[in-house]
């Protein structure tokens, strides 16, 4: 069985395309991945320490 992986599923395009893909294909074939919270950037953490 082939699967569809949607990265960035919590963004604008991902949040609209995942339900459409699940409707067109079987729901079990669509896997959504994304961040709920904005990740901290490593360079910002390093710059704050200077």
49 compared with 27, residue with greater pLDDT: 27
**Structure confidence at residue 40 (pLDDT):** 62
Segments making up each domain of the chain, as ranges? 4-48
Residue count of the chain, please give it.
50
3-state secondary structure of 42: helix
**pLDDT digits over 1-39, tens only?**
789 999 988 888 988 999 999 999 987 889 999 877 665
What is the value of pTM for the model shown?
Answer: 0.62
CB atoms within 10 A of CB 50: 4
- For residue 44, the model assigns a pLDDT of 55
β-bridge mates for residue 30, sequence order? 4
């Amino acid at each position: 069985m082939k699967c569809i992986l949607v990265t960035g599923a919590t963004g604008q395009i991902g949040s609209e395309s995942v339900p459409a893909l699940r409707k067109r294909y079987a729901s079990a074939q669509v896997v959504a991945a994304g961040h709920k919270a904005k990740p901290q950037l490593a360079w910002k953490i390093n710059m704050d320490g200077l």
